[in-house]
Chains A and B, each alone.
Chain A
Amino acid sequence: MASIEAGTAQGAAGAGGIDAEELARQRQRRFEKVGRWALPLIIMLTAIWLWDRICVWNEIPHFILPRPGVVLATLIDDAPLLFSSLWVTLKITFLSLALAVIGGVGLAVLFTQSKWVEMSFFPFAVVLQVTPIVAIFPLINIYVENQTAKLLLCAWIVAFFPILSNTTLGLNSVDRNLLDLFKLNGATRWQTLWHLRLPAAMPYFLGGLKIAGGLALIGAVVAEFVAGAAGQQSGLASRIIEAGYRLNAPRLFAALILISFTGIVIFLALTWLSNRILRRWHESALTGEH
């Protein structure tokens, strides 16, 4: 409908003005810009308000479903306890992520250096990736004594595969012509890896890293559920279980919010990192232009 009007308006507007279609498009763009953050915010606030009202209207006791205000108060009151647990969970998450990067990239590089190694081991990687890996946590729980090592291993194992498979894909997806060019110029294996394969794999690696960041956190939480840590060294997952036993729903919710917030922060941080690194050569891909 607008296109017909715009067609005539375009003719009428002539050299100076902007036609109706362009005006409409500009308005649309402005709305979208505001709506992008305003709408989710409004929905979020409405949901919290509704949550609060439901508790009040139905007179739900706060050990079943605490009101948002109570959760917030608990978050503040229990801050020393919860944040020290958050710290434990974060340590496991980031340490396992770091090890996943080292292991994943290292193994991917090894794969691309030898076709035989890749052919032999890649199916293993795939099998391990498609197996719901949390199912082997109880085994790790039996085999590994040290609590931290146990948690690290579990979190590492889930974070490791996306990095390995993405990086391998990236290292192998190098432009054939560029490989020929390196060959023509007598590049060594190491030069080809350093100047060509690794930079070319960067977008793939960063995609894997984003997935792995979230998985490392999930791994750290689930591992703790299985391992059932207690006392000083316990992370947020143990706090959740403990709060569940004691019907301390406000603390359970507070811990949950902290974990979810952590997940968001990790995702945003990795997205920022990846945009920063890829900006120079991948801006079009990132913003969806062209």
Chain B
Amino acid sequence: MAEAGPASPAADAAMAACLFALDPRGCGVLLRARPGPARDAWLALLRRLWPDNRPLRRVPVGIPDSRLLGGLDLAATLAAGRAVAERGVLAECDGGAIILAMAERLEPGTAARIARAIDEGEVVLERDGLTRRLPARFGVVALDEGLAEDEVVPRGLADRLAIHLALDEALLPTRMGETDLDAARALLPRVTADERAITALVSAGLALGIHTLRAPLHALAVARAAAALAGRSALAEDDIALAARLVLAPRATRLPAPPEGADNPEPEEPPPPPPEEDPTTETDPRPLDDLVLEAAKAAIPPDLLADLQAGLGARRGARSAGRLGAERKARRRGRPAGTRPGALRPGERLALVETIRVAAPWQRLRRAERPASGITPRVIVRREDIRLVRFKAPTERTAIFAVDASGSAALARLAEAKGAVEMLLSDCYVRRDTVALIAFRGSAAEIVLPPTNALARARRALAGLPGGGGTPLASALDLVGKLADQVARRGRTPIAVLLTDGRANVARDGTPGRPKAEEDALAAARQLRTQRLPAILIDTAPRPQPMAQRIAAEMGARYLALPYADAERLSRAVRAGMELHP
């Protein structure tokens, strides 16, 4: 890797392919990229490096358990007259790797099955009358095309993949110099990691707010592979820095606190020290810690960095992928998600192949038991054989907009707030969400528009919204809560978007007076929190208001100040909020 400059994202991306080819189990890759030339180039590079004698298979997103884990090979079983097991993809890829296409659409259950096999290095098959343990030591490349924030790879799986790599269109992996993977593979088991390296990676992980302890372990594996690739039997600082960039940086949920003594008194050393330096020489442990942290910090992707600076990072990581909770088991609509035994009632759909698969092995028995008289059907199917198609449909969402149209907010900001809502509305339209609109001014809040998917109506109602009067924030929050409850009862998932400056001056009972009004508003916010309603509060004041921040905190909402929120940021925040489910 001599010709690529040190620490360039393109070189790191190419390096990731190398590391994966060397140690697929230790250096799993989550590749976040649109399908396109960059991703193709990366995959081509991987295939070029991949040893010929090892499987590298693409796994489609909707793969059924029978193909993933294995099961009874019906045709072979009937032909042979004894149970013949069919190996699933995971067992077939023992010693190799799988490439998960569209991993962001993977069912949580499927992801959990893969995760389990990753952990155990084997598939435990308890299916179709078979009990088998099949070795399944494979690496995983998960292709994540979900560039929207509400589409993320199931976190249990993402957590088990060491390298998180984002490729954008412009970024093509640079050509690698020839690397001797066989020599590296032989060296890998002997690469040792000293205490300093472990300490440095663990502390860097903590400083970046990375909770899971898998991250430093992954980093250690990546550093080891990097050392082996460079022909070293001990970790050098370069290896550790690379691991920090590939493993730790993309997982950061916060920026490290600046070191004591804010400005650096010493002249800055160039981050990658000369590689000739013997890594095992006794040096002060601090510099290595700092180096790792610096490397990680420098490699944090720009959009994540922006979020972290805005204090959004912790939320972003904290609760995503809770989609399952809001995914109802719809009986008749949505995506098929496996089969289940049950009675064939009207409206159910028979899983014909699965039913026959269950019935087939018993045909000989049943035929023998059948009275000789009468006609014998070709296949004797009994009630207990019936398998039905299971469906899963994500619940539809309803965005409840509550817009502060009071005098304090209205005069300067109402137009802007309307603009923001309008933009969010078009977002909702794209997602087929329904919307509701609440306006509050004067003495109380009112529902201007009940939940609807007629976005044009919402837009009209919004445009005609008059401004002026007091700020009855408490009753607005109460109304949001009530409406959210109604929405949830109808089986939809509510999310609240509140636009206000937080300057409540009308109490619940409609009487003016700031102290009582604020107290009521905070109480209402706390009440809302118990509903565990995903919410966003957009502060519409010219400068951020402490009261608005307090309200947001009390109701557990994400806080966003409009002056700093451009259209893109706003829409991104709401989109991210959409995936926060109780």
A and B: interacting chains: no
B residues whose Cβ falls under 8 Å from a Cβ of A: none
A residues whose Cβ falls under 8 Å from a Cβ of B: none
